[in-house]
Structure formats: C-alpha cells, structure tokens
Amino acid sequence: MKFKRIKLKRIILTSMTLLAVSPALLAKASFDFSINVSAEKKNHVIFVDDIDSLKGMASKLNENSDGQLSKLIALNKFKAEKGEILHLQMVADSESILIIGTKDSDGLSGPELQNLGGKIASSFNSAQDDIDVAIHVENLQTNEASPSAHLAYGYHLRHYSFDRYKTKKSEGQSDVSLISANAEESSNLYNNDLAYIAEGVHLTRDLATEPGNHMYPQAFVDVAKAKFKGIKNIDIDVLDMRDIRKLKMGALEGVGKGSVNDPRLLVIKYNGNEKGNAPIALVGKGITFDTGGISLKQNTGMWAMKSDLAGAAAVAGALYANAKRGEKVNLIGFMPLAENMPSQDAIRPGDVLETMKGVSIEIISTDAEGRLILADAVYYAQQKYKPRMLLNIATLTGSAGRALSDEYAAVITRDFELSRKMMTVGERSGENVWPLPLHPNHFKQIESPIADIKNSGAGNPGASIGAAVVATFIDDDLPWVHLDIAGVDWLESDIDVAPKGSQGWGVRFMDQLVRDNLN
C-alpha cells in the first residue's frame, strides 16, 4: 500500500542574541508532524505498555529484526513501567530504538506528556549531538487531543544549553518527526502556541544564567527591547533613576544605591484586547546580582545570586509567549531591576526608606531587598494601570525552599480559595505550588518602632513575613497572588524538561494563569 504522508509546517528553533554577542543556545531542533514515517529514519521512539503484545511500530520493528527486539527487551528485563526507558542500538536497520514504558498510564496529562518529550531529548543528548528521529505517538493513553504537540513542547523545553562563554559550543541538530493520526492539529497547536511558551522559558533561562558583569539593570532592559522588537501590540516603558526619584520610589532607589549600575523599572505592555478592559499585572523581582548589600552574604553559593532576577525574567518570558501567540488579553509586566551591592552609598540596617505609597520602611536587613523593590513596583502597577488581578513572583526567601524543597513554589494569598485555584493552575501547567499562610500576626511582626513597617521580622525572615511586606502595598479588594520561587528556580540536577541550572520556572504557570483569566 502506498503510504500517505502530510508534510506540515516546520519550525526552526534558535536562541535570541544577548547583548550583541553570540547566542547562548546554538543547538537547533526542527519538528515535523506527519501521519506516516519516512523510510530514511534510522532512529525511533516507541511507547510500550505490554511487552508480551507489541503493537504498531513496535511490532513492525520486532518483525524487521526477526524477533531481536522482543528478545532484547526480555534480556534487559524491561517491564514497561510508566516512564521506564530502554535505549537499544543497532537493531535490524535501525541505528537506535528508544523504548519508553507507559504501563498503567491511563489518561496521561499534558505535563506528563511534556515530561516524556523531555526524556526523549535528554536520552538522545539533543543539545550536543545531531539526531534524526521519529517519535511514534501510538499506544499513548491520554486525554489530550494532540499528544504529539505536547511531546514536541517537552522536547523543546529540554533542548537547551547555555554555552556562550565556552570555547566549544553545543551545536547539536535535532530533526524530529512526530507520527500521529492528527498531525495537522498537533502542528497547529505546537507551532502557533506551545512553541512560544518554550521560547519564553528559554529567554528566562538565558537572563537568569548570564553572569552579573554582563547582566545588570540596563542590560536586562536592552535584552528585553531586542527580544520584543517587532511583536505586535507591545509597548515598552523604562523608568530610569530620574523617574524613580520623581515618583518617590525610595525603596527601589534605596536598594540600587550601592551599585554603579542604576536601578530601572521596566514595564512591558501587551494590548491584546480592547483598550477599556482592565489588564492582568505580572510583577517580577529583578535583582540582577545580590551580594546582600551591607548585610553581606557568605561567599559560599553567592555566585548563584546572578539568578536573583528570575522573577523578572519569568515575567518577560510569560509576556513573550502571550504576545507571540496573540492572546486576546491585556497583560502588563513590571520588572523592578536593581543590583544589591555594598558601598559607601549603600543603605544600612537601621535606615528608613520612604516608598511611593508613603509607607515608611525601617531596614532590618539589607539582604531582605526583594520585597523592597516589589513594594514600589506593585503600588505603581495599581495606581497607574488599575489591574483586575496582580501576581508577583520572586526568589524571595530561603525559608520557602526549606519548607517546600524543590517540589513546589510557595503561593500566598489573602483568600485560601484563591490559593486552591492556584494549585490547579500549577497542576495543569506542570509547575506546582503549595499554599503558605498569611496571618494577621505576620503583619504585627513587621511593625516598626520608628517607621510604619520594617522589612523583616526580628530574626525571622520567613516566606510569610516577606509576603506580608508586599501585601502592605496591595489593595485589600484586589485579587493578589504571591509566588516565592526561591526553592524551584535553580536546579542542582537535571529534570525531564530542563537541564541543571535555571529552569525558567514561572513562565508556564503564569501562562496558564492568563489562559484561565481571559476577559
């Protein structure tokens, strides 16, 4: 029988160019969605749920190898358990066959499919090596209408390498065909939607991985302007030190005073809906490097404080994804940017800062700086743009990571029912959150004897205390979500959809939040 093949739109993935130097990600991938596989493919991915009854391409490969495939499966004691992987080389005419177990995987969710896509990219070492592979989507039990798109999305998320400063670059080229009955629908979903989220995640990783001597407030602004150039319905405002002082943003100014690099407030507006519709506001902490200021951190691990801008980077990534796919929403990102450095001009413990709201803050620790820059940013967002919902995201407190490890980001709201909704957002996006409390006593703990509030509780810089500081600047009747991502933003080891390092956490969560709250 003559096989039928639909050749659909292919997309080439490349990285942005940061700071007019060579791109961080040189590895590329292309995705082709087809009904049947072309004869020249030598690498295959098959999903198996029953080793005693191989079906589809698994059965064909076994037949082509005169039963060698099933014998190797038995020899390697492969049980086809959910997520189990067996990678075989030189079976019949195939250079390699990647077998992934799907036993007892009834109704795989979108995030589970994305994890499988990431496993495939990782198994083929996609960012380093050239690979030409066919993924056979049959035998997957899922409620998703276009599982191929989610597999490609997960592959794209994992297909990342930051090697700008290495002599030897990662130049792996992946040519991936996804074989399924609904190829056209999968192509449309991936190319017109999910690919943009993955690109937003990669943007976030790039920003959070750049070393501090290359990534400072104005550099962040320059990268964002270059990335958003030419995208429809985007307006960008940048508040410099003169604007910050004019608006009496004493908290943002104070944090940045110790650095030779002045602070900025970057505002990216995406106008995807009617002008009169109130926007959703996303506010991300952007400390481009955090020494702790006068309350100097220990040197151990301080190098990782280049990623203390991860909240702002995630906001940029989420804005990018929504704008590129043309989401019908008004969305504004606010990125307060500052470098927290010790110098003769730096703020000291015991100083008092005046905020844009007029609330004065006594500084207990200059290392509790993220809540300070958020204070002015969230108030500015409310006063100027009157949002219908506000989410702020920050690598704010180590206590959030100690409480929830690297499995969950902390979510804090005034309304526990809203926190429960955020948990479902996390489950559907693949970025899980868990609620922490916001109690009236937390506000009592930040009362100051000489100012309105202090920026830290006495000896207790906990996640809820940090949230209470930010909440002081949030209108009581505004739906507000506080995300503390200090435990999840930086990976010590690989996961399915991200290599170690910055995982770009928050882009997928905020993207799902926006989808759930369209006008």
Q: Do residues 150 and 144 make contact, with C-beta atoms less than 8 angstroms apart?
A: yes
- CB burial class (10 A; 0-12, 13-18, 19+) of residue 515? middle
Q: Which two tokens stand for residue 97?
A: 């066959």
Q: With the CA atoms of 359, 362, 367 and 373 taken in that order, what torsion angle do they form, in degrees rounded to the nearest 10? A: 10
CA torsion angle for 198, 203, 206, 210 (degrees, to 10)? Answer: -160
Number of other residues whose CB lies within 10 A of the CB of residue 434: 16
Please state, in angstroms and rounded to a whole number, the distance separating the CA atoms of residues 252 and 356: 9
Residue 242 falls in which region: left (phi positive, over 0), alpha (psi -120 to 50) or beta: alpha
Please give the structure tokens belonging to residue 281.
Answer: 């506001």
Backbone angles phi, psi at 89, to 5 degrees: -120, 150
Paired tokens of 30? 């292309």
Rounded Cα distance, 506 and 312, in Å? 10
- Tell the burial category of 495 from Cβ atoms under 10 Å away from its Cβ (0-12, 13-18, 19+): middle
- Contact call for residues 126 and 98 (beta carbons, < 8 A): no
Looking at 227, 269, 306, 371, which residue is catalytic? 371
> Cα-atom radius of gyration of the chain, to the nearest Å?
24
* Cross-strand bridge partners of residue 134: 44, 177
Helices of type H across 137-249:
147-158, 183-189, 195-209, 217-228, 241-246
371 is annotated as an active-site residue: yes
186, 178 Cβ separation under 8 angstroms: yes
Under DSSP, the state recorded for 222 is H
The residue with tokens 């602070």 is 263
Name 373's Cβ contacts closer than 8 Å, sequence gap at least 6: 251, 252, 255, 263, 285, 286, 287, 336, 337, 338
With 0-12 / 13-18 / 19 or more C-beta atoms within 10 angstroms meaning exposed / middle / buried, residue 190 is buried
To the query of whether residue 428 is one of the catalytic residues in this protein, the response is no
Active-site residue among 297, 384, 414, 515?
297
Residues designated as active site: 297, 371
